[in-house]
Structure 1
Amino acid sequence: MGGLHRMEEEILGQLNPEQREAVLDHSHTCVVNANVGSGKTTVLVAKLLYLRYMENIRFSRMIVLTFTHKAAEEVRRRLEQREGSLSPEELSGFGTFHSVAYRLLKQFLPVEELGYTRSFTVLLPEQELELARELIRREGLRIKYPARLPKRLEAAVRLGHRGRDSVEGKRLDKLQDDIWLLAEVLEREKRQRDTMTFRDLLVHGETLLRKYPIAPEWIIIDEVQDSDERQLAFLDALRGPDTRLFAVGDPNQIIYGWRGSSINACFTLAHRYGARQLTLPMNYRSGRRILEAAGRFKQYGDRLKGSRESEGRVRIRQAYDPLGEAYYLAEQIRRLRENGVAAEQIAIFYRLQAQAELLADVFEREKIPHQVVTRRERDSGETYLEEQGIPLYEEENRAQARGFSPGEPPVESPGELSGESTRAPGVWLMTLHASKGMEFTHVFIIGVNYGLIPLRSSGFEEEEEERRLFFVGMTRARDFLELSYYLQPGMPGVACGESRYLQMIPEGLVERVDNAPVVPKADFSEAASYEESGQTESQEACGAQVLPCRVRHGKYGEGTVTEEDEEKLTVDFGELGVKTFFKDFVVLEFER
């Protein structure tokens, strides 16, 4: 008895009261609303250990569902720290929704009833699209607006003929082409080729589970807020009448609306199963001022509570343009590293992946170690399937095309790295989406201009998701957070000046570094003297020379003025690109 008590204390001893209550909960269904940084993974692992040793439930009788391979591996790693090595059989029910569905179809469920064999392969999204185009040519199908094919085909496959009368189905019918027939032909072709898409894994898994239930004792779900309708349906089929369900999530971190995640996922489970709802309110990650600033973008639940004081205020900084900012960031990173901050504890977040290219180019020139995270916005299983050697459709051809031999494991994407020990030495550059689930001591979020953060939205739901995405990015920071905007973004559709998001943060929480461009304000007294002497407008800054004329810039070096008006100059700096400057914010040395 004493041994059990010591085990219980070992599992529960480091938990706060709210965490302990969640671990001890034995409700038929429990949904835990876990605020950002509140230790949800700690709670999940403690729950698993408690069930194993205090309730005597084997891991093999549990299903543990995550949304990324990284999250599944983190749970596994923490369990093995306590348990030592665990066999694949013991953890066969641990993984992403898609990887668990795959194993069930391969090992337990009779896929032959659906026209497949147990040797079926997995078809990647881009391969499905290639197959659809092949079928269009072979069958002579008429499909209008080929650029819209991916979205229209996904909708037709998802809806099926029974959904043709729905609002979404009627929209598909407006073009009066063969999209529905293409969806039918594609489904038949996949069976003939013995291959399934990621969506098919869940659909076919659900179909067979309703006929051949496995009824685990417990189902535990991480990041439940990211569930879409298909995953919830798979979960419903997976669950038996006596299966207990424990789900952890945060509706404030729903940032995948484009892939079907629903703002009602947490609430749907709660109401569908009559769940008990608990909350983890305490944030252990970010300083108080960072939390208070981020709280302005929090949409659900009570005010964030923090356990750490801030070392300073949130910085809001004005940058002239993306190139100048890249050089500024390189200098700031250099100073941080000189002061003992590890490069891998510094991250720069942006809204669009295209913004990484300029940063990476400048960091290369300035010899700043860095890594650009280029993973897809939400990994849903492909990485896991590849690493486990699971056959993908036409795997040999695909592997050779990507530069490695058949059977050789692909290099893991930086976006799938987890744990301090696996972080590569270098500053992290990533989109706000890719930052989810990570944390850093120093975070810079760039381009907080309307048209980037937030993106231009077509409706209320998209605007709300942009706010949640900004909230997620801000709460990755532990000690330092800087938010910056461009005076001259130089990107189509992006407004000059700060986004309204920055105006939502109380001034008492921020330190503003305004009117401080990367280069000092210009003195155009010499140019003015030329104007007074009767120079033409095109010669105003270039003196007696007509355009183009040569100039030198303090940061970008030598360039050629190609255009000029009363307010701006356009200069071609060769490899560094063409830049447009406001005369009031630039110093240029003109060659005579």
Structure 2
Amino acid sequence: MTISKIKELNEYQKAAVQNESRACLVNANVGSGKTTVLIEKILHLHNKKNIRLQDMVVLTFTNKAADEIRERLKGETAESSEPVGSDELWGFGTFHSVALRLLKEKLSVEELGYTKDFFVIEPDEELEIAESLISENKLKIKYKNRLKKRLEEEMSGSSQGRRKTGPQDDLSELAGLLREEKRRQDKMTFQDLLANACALLRKERRKPAWIIVDEVQDCDEWQLEMIDCLMGEKTCLFAVGDPNQVIYSWRGSAFQVFYTLKTKYQADELSLPVNYRSGGIILEAARRFLQSSQELTGVREAGEKIAVRNHYDPFQEADYLSDKIAELNSRGIPYSDIAVFYRLQSQSGILEDMMARKGIPYEVSLKKTIKDIPVLNWLVKLLRFSLNPRDVQAGVCVLCDRDYGAGITVKEADRYIRAGLEEAADQGLDGPVLAGTGEERKLSGKAGILLKAMLGFRNRWKEYSKAGPEDFADRVMEYFDLDTYLRPSFASFAADRESVRELLKITGDYICEEGAEELAGMGEFLNSSALYGINILKKEIHSETDSVKLMTLHASKGLEFSYVFIIGVNYGLIPLRTKSFEEEEEERRLFFVGMTRAKDHLEISWYTSPGQPNVMPGPGRYLNMIPAHLKEGGGIGPGQAAASGEVRLQELKREILKNREKKEEPNIKEESSKEESSSTKRVSHKKYGPGTVEKEDDTMITVLFDDYGRKEFMKMFSELESI
């Protein structure tokens, strides 16, 4: 019997776990124990209702969330005769990973024209295939800069049944050709995984007993469709989410998910209103950003007020934050309890440089995956074509690549690959291929050798797959003679070689761990890397590492820290400039998510001089939405940063941004004398407010404004008034 902790739950959590209805939606506020309730529900069904784990499908939105649920369930079911992961029928994982496994293992994907060895590709590769089809078939396509979005709509069928009022071109014909070409090359996109799984699930008579969904508010139309396709007459649904945390609508998240599911399945709707994470003051401030009238209560004491800081610009702020974090650590606060959130990934650079300069350990949540590294993107295509010669597009990309391939034209590569495949078909793919064919001889040496190696790789697979990770990497590199293709004379050679070898080691480790000595094992790895990415640069955060966490507000979702700093709350950053009411509402929800990551201490800052285009100086309006009695002011003011710290600020800029042109250090005595001579003269401007005159002559006047930094005017048109 597995162990349940239901006695430790509050009344709202117990009501959700013990709910007996066929469909139940749980509106879970931030910090209310959502994951605990989800796991307790699974245990309750397993222990009390005798539902086998194999008869449940648990759907999440991140692999990390799926792994967390698995690990926690494994601990609870350690002595069970049916541990998690034993012969899963439906599966625990993301929507896409569950769809992938069903298509590979359970559903008759052959009915759709695919084989069980199909590969998963990213949307960018689908676009490459589409562009190739446009060229081959001389199709007329308008607005090619919007082709990706238009194709998604056309392929999903969202445009069906509507009278065409948009551009009249060959888009429908392209969509049909693209579907056929993907079948021919045995490839599916992420959207295809869900669409094809849904098409086959509709025909399945056997359905899961229970569907359990985490973060249901993030479902898009295809994910809602997959839920519906999994539902049978006796299937039950339990879904948990928070409408106030819808922050991914740009990915296609459907609006009003709770209303849609509640109406469709006549679901009970329960709530988890009690927040166990944040102090009372943080929660009271966060309530100002809720977009519904739902209750949000906490059990913790009020705690400290929210600190609001004004920094002259991001450089001065990075200097301040580094010193502040070092001081917190000296008081015994672990670095891992501290996080800095920002709106755009580009904001992390200054923080990284300053913390590295001051010896503060940090980690950046930046998922730079295989497709972001050119040499690895090329290597993956090489392996894919080697395993699946029908993937002509990948083979063409390998041979045409000017940096790592042969640099030949698309037409040449396509012609020779097709000729090679015909020769290979005559000889049999398991035998030697391209043994000196005429087409191979027409290729320049590097291209011919590479093509022959790719088409012959399947013959070496079993031998290589039995080696350990290190040996596997060495053998594959030697077989393809990769050192030759990684440009030994280039400065990037060492880094490229290290990245390639690291990826091959990860591949070999996966194959050895899974015991996958067949070609399918390699395919599974490549599909997994396409679905989840492999953070080859290891730029992702690890909660157990004692380091400061730097991340975007989006990346902060689901995490919590004792000390949280949210930087850049200026209009144009937080919130970003938006084009619609819906986008503005999402910006508010995103700020709400960031605030509620803080357990004990929250500090919010803004810039006098943001230094970024389209970002307004001065505090953003979100700061005005927080009541004054919840805020603690102080900190570094703009006058101090701009006047007394200007010289030091310029020095920091020169050190941090080495690629900037060096600036001459200002004369300290000269600047001081100017400030002293004019510091007694205060003026006011109807737009910029009060300020101090720095410099003045017969025609020009320079003013350092308290909230907007330094401005220069012609005296005749300055509109300045003495105060």
Tell me: CA distance 1:324–1:481, structure 2 relative to 1, closer, same or farther (3 Å): same
Aligned 1:290-369 pairs, distance under 5 A: 290-369=282-361
Instruction: Say whether 1:45 aligns with 2:39.
Output: yes
- Structure 2 residue 28 is the aligned partner of structure 1 residue 28: no
TM-score (norm 2): 0.67
Q: Which residue of 1 aligns with 2:125?
A: 127
1:568–1:360 CA distance, 2 compared to 1 (3 A): farther
How far apart are 1:411 and its partner, in Å? 4.1
1:83 to 74, 77, 84: 77
- Cα distance, 1:105–1:90 mapped onto 2, change above 3 Å: closer
**Partner amino acid, structure 1, of 2:551:** M
Give the superposition deviation at 1:212.
1.6
1:209 aligns with 2:201: yes
Provide closer, same or farther for how the CA distance between residues 376 and 348 of structure 1 changes in structure 2, counting only shifts above 3 A. Answer: same
Q: In 2, distance between residues paired with 1:269 and 1:24? A: 20
Structure 1 pair 405–352 and aligned structure 2 pair: CA distance change class (3 A): closer
For residue 109 of structure 2, what is the amino acid of its counterpart? V
The answer to whether the 8 Å contact 1:227/1:262 transfers is: yes
Task: Give the Å deviation of 1:583.
Answer: 7.9
How far is 1:126 from its partner? Answer: 2.3
Q: 1:12-63: CA deviations, max 9, x gaps?
A: 1111111011111110100000011000100011111111111111100001
Letter in 1 for 2:580: G
Match of 2:577 among 449, 456, 476: 456
Shift of 1:463: 0.7
Question: In structure 1, what is the equivalent of residue 275 of structure 2?
Answer: 283
2:191 equivalent to 1:199: yes
Aligned match of 2:412: none
Describe the shift of the 1:317–1:108 C-alpha distance in structure 2 as closer, same or farther (beyond 3 A).
Answer: same
Q: 1:552 to 1:184 in 2, by over 3 A?
A: farther
The aligned residue for residue 582 of structure 1 is: 710
Pairing 1:67–2:188 present: no
Asked if 1 retains the 8 angstrom alpha-carbon contact of 2:121 and 2:188, the reply is yes
Which residues in structure 2 correspond to 1:452-491 (within 5 Å)? Answer: 452-491=573-612
Q: Is the 8 A contact 1:316 1:512 kept in 2?
A: yes
Matches within 5 A, 1:138-149: 138-149=136-147
1:18 maps to 12
SS in 2 for 1:298: coil
Q: Secondary structure at the match of 2:563?
A: strand
Contact 1:312 1:480 (8 Å CA) reproduced: yes
* Aligned partner (choices 544, 551, 554) of residue 433 of structure 1: 554
Match for residue 626 of structure 2? 505
* Cα distance in 2 for residues equivalent to 1:136 and 1:479: 57
Listed one character per residue, the Cα deviations across residues 465-517 of structure 1 (whole Å, up to 9, x for unaligned) are: 11000000100111111111111111111111111111011111111226614
- The superposition leaves residues 279-320 of structure 1 with CA deviations (integer Å, 9 ceiling, x where unpaired) of 101001111101111110011242311111143101111111
Paired residue for 2:48?
54
Alignment check: 8 A CA contact 2:312 2:641 kept: no
Amino acid at match of 1:268: T
1:159 is aligned to 2:274: no
Mapped pair 1:443 → 2:564: yes
One-letter amino acid of the structure 1 residue matched with residue 243 of structure 2: P
Change (3 A) 1:359 1:142: farther
Which residue type is aligned with residue 262 of structure 1? A
In the TM superposition, what is the alpha-carbon distance from 1:66 to its structure 2 partner? 0.4
1:551 corresponds in structure 2 to: 666
Indicate which of 187, 190, 205 corresponds to 2:182.
190
Q: Distance in 2 between matches of 1:195 and 1:478?
A: 45
In structure 2, C-alpha distance between the alignment counterparts of 1:581 and 1:450, rounded to whole Å:
16
User: Which stretch shows the higher mean deviation, 192-201 or 397-406?
Assistant: 397-406
Q: State the SS of the aligned residue for 2:601.
A: strand
Q: Find the residue that maps to 1:33 and give its secondary structure.
A: strand
Q: 2:95 aligns with which of 71, 86, 97?
A: 97
Shift of 1:159: 3.1
Query: Which residue identity does 1:102 align to in structure 2?
Result: L
Consecutive unaligned residues of structure 1, counting only runs of 5 or more, are: 378-385, 525-547, 555-562, 570-579, 585-592
Q: Counterpart of 1:522?
A: 643
Deviation string, structure 1 residues 114-156 (Cα, Å, up to 9, x no partner):
1111111101122222222222333333334443332232222
Report the CA distance shift for 1:376/1:248 in structure 2 as closer, same or farther (over 3 A).
Answer: farther
CA contact (8 A) 1:11 1:49 kept: no
What whole-Å deviation, never above 9, does each CA across 1:552-584 have from its counterpart, x for those lacking one?
A: 689xxxxxxxx9984479xxxxxxxxxx96389
DSSP-derived class of the 2:606 partner: strand
Of 449-458 and 142-151, deviating more is 142-151
Change (3 A) 1:281 1:337: same
- Give the SS at the match of 2:299: strand
Distance 1:523 1:489, change over 3 A: closer
Structure showing greater radius of gyration is 2
Percent sequence identity over aligned pairs: 49
User: How far apart in 2 are the matches of 1:239 and 1:205?
Assistant: 13
Alignment of 1:492 onto 2:613: yes
After TM superposition, give the deviation of residue 161 of structure 1 in Å.
6.0
What is the 5 A alignment of 1:371-450?
A: 371-375=363-367, 403=500, 404-406=502-504, 407-408=507-508, 410-411=534-535, 420=543, 423-450=544-571
Query: How far apart, in 1, do the equivalents of 2:313 and 2:644 lie?
Result: 20
**Contact between 2:363 and 2:540, CA under 8 Å: does it hold in 1?**
no
Residues 204, 520 of structure 1: alpha-carbon distance in 2 compared, 3 angstrom cutoff: closer
The match for 1:559 is none
Q: How many angstroms apart in 1 are the aligned matches of 2:641 and 2:314?
A: 17
Asked if the contact 2:53–2:84 (Cα under 8 Å) also holds between the matched residues in 1, the reply is no
- Using the alignment, how far apart are the partners of 1:322 and 1:227 within structure 2? 36
Task: Go from structure 1 to structure 2 and tell me whether the alpha carbon gap of 1:296 and 1:245 turns closer, same or farther (over 3 Å shift).
Answer: same
- Gap change, CA 1:363 and 1:136, over 3 Å in 2: farther
Per the TM alignment, residue 374 of structure 1 is displaced from its structure 2 partner at its CA by: 1.2
Mean CA deviation greater in 404-413 or 226-235: 404-413
Any stretches of 5+ residues in structure 2 without a counterpart? Answer: 370-379, 399-403, 405-472, 474-481, 483-495, 511-533, 646-662, 670-694, 713-723
Residues 123-132 or 144-153, more deviating: 144-153
Residue 162 of structure 1 aligns to a residue in which SS? coil
2:255 to 254, 257, 263: 263
- What CA distance in whole angstroms lies between the structure 1 residues aligned with 2:641 and 2:608? 14
- Matched positions, count: 518
Cα displacement (A) at 1:259 = 1.4
Q: Deviations over 1:320-355 (max 9, x none)?
A: 111111111111111111111111211111111111
Alpha-carbon separation, structure 2, partners of 1:253 and 1:132: 35
- Whether the 8 Å CA contact 1:161–1:180 is kept in 2: the answer is no
Shift of 1:270: 0.8
Question: In the superposition, relative to structure 1, how do residues 549 and 261 fare at CA in structure 2: closer, same or farther (>3 Å)?
Answer: closer
Structure 1 residue 376: deviation in Å?
7.7
Maintained 8 Å contact 2:541/2:549: no
C-alpha distance in structure 1 between counterparts of 2:190 and 2:627, whole Å: 44
Question: Which is worse superposed, 402-411 or 360-369?
Answer: 402-411
Bigger helix share: 2
| Structure 1 residue 447 displacement after superposition | 0.7
